[in-house]
Structure 1
């Protein structure tokens, strides 16, 4: 494999830990008997929705930007994201004294757009149905001499996200026993493959599973097929944070080697999980961030029953109007 597509490894995740520690906070593990009863297992929830900027994305962004040289920092960065990566890059750039422009879909939650602006980032809106965010970001970066920071298909991003897995494994070990299974939502796969790399190094017996919305389950289908299978064009879900066309060039080879398989949830089940998180765990989970929790609140697969299962709630950046509608509704 060429240097341009070098896959990260466990040592990269460990090295990222020192850089990420500059900004990321240690997020708690939450448990509840009602969740164990619903899931049919002992469930430990990693509440990464309480992370800086409201999601795990600050981890990868900080690891990537902190390694840029002085000249690159002066020109700044360009990123494309529906919101959480956008906020992570904007925050990391501000802390490192760098300009940042984020290409965001015009239907991105306003709370995520506002988060970028609050951190001093510029926002360029585009139509996700008719325009290519990659092309737009590339043109802007070329004009500015800036560096494009991908949201998932980048070795440093993956390694930075993997620090969540190191932290989770350490916290779980302090409770007496490792996880049998770990469920994490998957979009492009930067987080779940980083977490899987961490588990490979410190908790090799833990089986790692993707969680995705129905119709946008490219990871589940790709893992089953042993090759990348893309989503059908125009496929939608209200889990906006994890809607990517297909696994990445870097993330799929890692996932193919490290992941146990994929779980699929409906939008209705994700809504139920958001309500459960609010009522019992006292946290706000955005739709995409609640996908893994939904696999537990609806009842885990039989093969996971009676085991120790980790679930990551990856983000809490949801518009107030949508969250209010979900909490008030029963469907």
Structure 2
């Protein structure tokens, strides 16, 4: 634990002043909740190093896990706020979100969250919420993969239920156009700018061929200047001779396990994997201009990504008096006696 703790403290402390002076001032709209820096310093001071150690181990064993943990946090927050509802297993009382269309056979990393929770319960029982674990794991995944670090505001509670219908309706489809993306983000309090910034998370990870099949079956406009025919042919070769439901393609061919600005470079080269990726530069001039700015200035992208992650992480109901701190992230406490 000591080497992870030392590295963690050195890197995170570097960002504390920036986080407190620059980011928190942007989290005051009506859709956000008030969270706290250093929330567990008194109740569980080892919480963040424990999360970091587990995430580092998981990513070292499977580099793709960084993208998976980052995605878990997004799929949680976009559905009724950041309340760990995405982690709940199905029960007779309700259908969880894991089997919703955007999540089934797609979301992963649940076992990593389970391991983190077990470590935390052994160290400081019933102190750290699963929702806060997701926020920390997302941040640490970015940091470990070469991206920016930031201090995470915490104090979330875990939900007592989940909503499969909300997951189906609110999580953007990989075939979404820019207008649909903007609409879904604005519905939860995120801006069109956040659409472009948070889509930059696709600089890591993989996607099933079935999620971008519309780009391969003749629906793409091959005369568009944003279409890279050589790239499309390579994807058709990868996906055409095997099961599209199981075959995976890198979201970023150049640096698939590194958090950088390559995603935006790919878009301008016509190499956005998902239709919703390529839509950022083909359907909105403002979005394209922001993409171009991130190509030119990766530091700007890192700073903007930190702000948008903090903004997204604050979405949801009040963190006081609602929900609980689950002992097991997969089940609410009354069913986990």
Q: TM-score normalized by structure 1?
A: 0.25
Higher relative contact order, structure no. (Cα contacts within 8 Å, ≥ 6 residues apart): 2
Q: TM-score normalized by structure 2?
A: 0.25
Q: Which has the higher strand share?
A: 1
